[in-house]
């Protein structure tokens, strides 16, 4: 004589079960195809899925992408551009208007100043990077980079087959200090902290 053990139905809620009666009155449980997935995922699996989603979201925000660029209509951006234009007027830089450039930024400094840059061209093979204002008290580099951004913006045909990134002010905290300082707000000389492979 063979003995068979009945396998209990999967643990799913009653709203997902359809009962069908056989001639011998034994119920057969059939899970509704559309709802079985949502009810067979345990709470632990849901926590793991949410953690994975959260982790991937944070990782993607760390990647430089125009999709993740900060809003240039934000208060800190507008305040920063106003300060930059005021400082430019103090130094007599009347031929440049930082507010006329569509800057992008991803990070803020300790003093909530955006680390601005602009990108021209779409070529992916080579990229030319210009930056200034590494030391906040070295004013000519800041002026030249702002002037270069205006020139490239006004003459796009000259640079259409190039990829150019201009970051005119890597140390806005030092540049906007009174008097301007070589170091940033944390007292760090940025020029001595570039990662190198030597």
Q: Residue 178: give the domain boundaries.
A: 71-192
Which two structure tokens, joined as six digits, stand for 164?
């150019």
Of the three residues 5, 40, 62, the one that is the final residue of a domain is 62
Q: Are residues 104 and 133 in the same domain?
A: yes
Q: Are residues 165 and 78 in the same domain?
A: yes
Alpha-carbon gap, residue 30 to 35, rounded angstroms? 11
Q: Are residues 134 and 175 in the same domain?
A: yes
Q: Are residues 78 and 174 in the same domain?
A: yes
Q: Are residues 52 and 132 in the same domain?
A: no
Q: Are residues 87 and 174 in the same domain?
A: yes
Which two structure tokens, joined as six digits, stand for 68?
């993740």
pLDDT at 169: 94
pLDDT at 28: 47
The answer to the question of residue 4 being in a domain is: no
Q: What is the CATH number of the domain that holds 176?
A: 3.40.630.10
Which two structure tokens, joined as six digits, stand for 114?
């955006």
Which two structure tokens, joined as six digits, stand for 158?
């000259």
Give the burial class of 172: count Cβ atoms within 10 A of its Cβ; 0-12 exposed, 13-18 middle, 19 or more buried.
Answer: buried
Report the domain count for the chain.
Answer: 2
pLDDT at 125: 76
Give the burial class of 2: count Cβ atoms within 10 A of its Cβ; 0-12 exposed, 13-18 middle, 19 or more buried.
Answer: exposed
Per-residue pLDDT of the chain (198 residues), as tens digits, is: 555 555 555 555 554 444 444 444 444 444 443 344 445 556 666 767 666 666 666 555 554 444 445 677 788 889 999 999 999 999 999 999 999 999 999 888 899 899 999 999 877 778 899 999 999 999 999 999 999 999 999 998 888 888 999 999 999 999 999 999 999 998 989 888 877 675
Q: Are residues 163 and 94 in the same domain?
A: yes
């Amino acid at each position: 004589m063979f003995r068979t053990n009945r396998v209990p139905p999967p643990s799913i809620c009653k709203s997902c079960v359809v009962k069908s009666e056989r001639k011998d009155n034994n119920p057969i449980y059939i899970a509704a195809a559309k709802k079985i997935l949502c009810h067979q995922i345990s709470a632990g699996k849901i926590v793991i899925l949410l953690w994975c989603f959260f982790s991937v979201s944070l990782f993607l925000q760390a990647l430089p992408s125009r999709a993740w660029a900060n809003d240039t209509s934000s208060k800190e951006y507008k305040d920063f551009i106003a300060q930059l234009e005021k400082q430019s007027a103090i130094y007599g830089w009347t031929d440049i208007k930082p507010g006329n450039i569509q800057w992008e930024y991803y990070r803020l400094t300790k003093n909530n100043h955006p680390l601005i840059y602009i990108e021209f061209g779409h070529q992916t093979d080579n990229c030319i990077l210009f930056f200034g204002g590494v030391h906040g008290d070295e004013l000519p580099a800041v002026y030249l980079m702002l002037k270069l951004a205006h020139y490239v913006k006004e003459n796009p045909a000259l640079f259409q087959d190039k990829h150019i990134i201009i970051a005119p002010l890597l140390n806005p905290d030092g540049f906007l200090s009174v008097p301007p300082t070589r170091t940033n707000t944390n007292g760090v000389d940025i020029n001595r902290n570039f990662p190198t492979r030597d």
